[in-house]
Amino acid sequence: MTRLCIGFEVHQPYRLNSGFRPGNYGGKSPEEAYFSGINREILERVCRKCYNPATALVLELLDQGFKCAFSLSGTLVEQLEKWEPDTLGLFEEVARHRNAEMLCQTYYHSVASLFDDPSEFEEQVRLHRQLMRDAFGVTPAVMENTEFLFNNAIAESAKRLGFKAIYSEGVERLLGWRSPNYVYSCRGINLLLRNYQLSDDIAFRFTNRQWPEWPLTADKYASWLAATPGDYVNVFIDYETFGEHQWEDTGIFEFLRWLPRECKARGVEFWKPSEIASLPAAEALNVEETVSWADVEKDISAWLGNTMQHMAIKEVQRGEAFASDKKTWRLLQTSDHFYYMASKFGSCGDVHSYFSPEACTNIEAFDMYMRVLSDFELRAAQKMKPKQVAMELRCLPPEQAFRFRTPRAYTGFSAYSLDDFADLLNFVPEDSLQYHLSRDDYSSWIRDVLNDPGLAEDVSKCGNRIELLEVTDRRRKELWSRLKGAGPAERRREEVWSRSR
């Protein structure tokens, strides 16, 4: 007897407005100007093609004994509340059904679990759990992190938050000779691993006419499930597979309609995640390297695979100091923004391009993101005390970044803040370092863009990398100390500085 556990990922981000320029709000609030009007258009299309017909079909199947799980991001629920309340009503019916289970994730489907400090990640999971209570009247017992990102630290967070189990990807480098079709444990919490081969048969290979097993029918798939060894099979796919990624005329809805009957005929039972999580763990796993379900690498390279992505994630982490508006800051952590910046090729590159909005390149996606983030921090810095310190530490837009060059070409390194500048001094090639020193470019940028004449003067006296590192690192630490510990004396200095402007 085979136990089948099926889960659906349901997420829509707030995509950024590619036409946004700092200060150009077009009569909208800054937050409204940051995010594209295309979000509503995309949601309405996906509801029409996928969410409405697929969820209506799932409700029919649930009454017939089918069981499944749904993980709805908070950004999706918000959009449904605003623009498609009838579709949200369908999901509410699913959540009330005894054969369905709602999972927990980060509210903003974010990359917060990749941050150095787990507190923001854990807070977003709490926010999502509360949303599930408020919107659907359920308290999830099982969670899945964004895109199945998982490691030992994430397991520890899930355990602290009181979950019964957490999902991740059944990758070979994690399992070795083991099968994904058993419950494992990690740091004291049960771990449910996705069988990515059987999942991808539906999600990616269903319409591939070059695949030797095409066409995939419900009876064929059910026979594979019945013949699969192990305690259970975990199939988890994007919900948009039904009708959006695989169009209705491919037969994808008929496949789903007939799957429960064909499974029942072959002795395959449907179980919910919390039921699977009650099975004894076969073994404890140690997951030091972060895994995910993204791309063939199944690691963090979909979001941290190039210098642009590293820069963006580092900057949004630092942006917490400017996050009086927590919601917008958290919307800027949504994983999709960084996914669009990936510089991958082949089939993985094709998938990244497919999901990228308005057919923008990864460089355009990065520039768009940094413009929005810099404007967000600029507006906050103008209200902070000490203002001059906040203005110097904020993230800059692309046109104000310091671009490290050699006498011949751009090195690929750009500093979007004083912190970036200090960090990159460790890595830029020596010929680039000396090129800018000889031209006094560093001190000019610090004086004209960061507005710190004192630091500019100190930098102009530097003659090598070590001196530059010492001067800039000392200054940034001093500024962060002042920003975080401003008292009455600091506020008086701020008033003097403001009057002098």
Provide the annotated active-site residues: 147
Count of C-beta atoms within a 10 Å radius of residue 186:
24
Look at residue 132 and give its three-state secondary structure: helix
* Region class of 42: left (phi > 0), else alpha (psi between -120 and 50), else beta: alpha
- 87: its two tokens: 């579709």
Count of C-beta atoms within a 10 Å radius of residue 352:
22
Query: Residue 143 — φ and ψ, nearest 5°?
Result: -125, 160
Closest CA to 304 of 111, 22, 122, 48: 111
Q: What is the DSSP pairing of strand 68-72 with strand 2-10?
A: parallel
Residue 166 parent element (H or E): strand 165-169
Which 8-state DSSP code applies to residue 116? Answer: S
285, 174 in Cβ contact below 8 A?
A: yes
Q: Sign (positive/negative) of CA torsion 366, 368, 374, 376?
A: negative
Instruction: Cis check for the bond before 85: say yes or no (omega within 30 of 0).
Output: no
Closest CA to 305 of 330, 334, 340: 340
Residue 69 parent element (H or E): strand 68-72
C-alpha–C-alpha distance, residues 452 and 197, integer Å? 56
CA-to-CA separations, 407 to 423, 432, 433, 463, in angstroms, rounded:
22, 7, 10, 18
Strand order in the sheet with 165-169: 142-143, 165-169, 189-194, 184-186
Q: Give the angle 63-65-67 at the CA atoms, nearest 5°.
A: 100
- 25: its two tokens: 């709000």
Instruction: Cis check for the bond before 13: say yes or no (omega within 30 of 0).
Output: no
Helices 453-460 and 441-448 pack at an angle, to 10 degrees, of 180
For 404-444, the DSSP string reads: EE-SSSEEEEEESSHHHHHHHTTTS-HHHHHHHHHHTHHHH
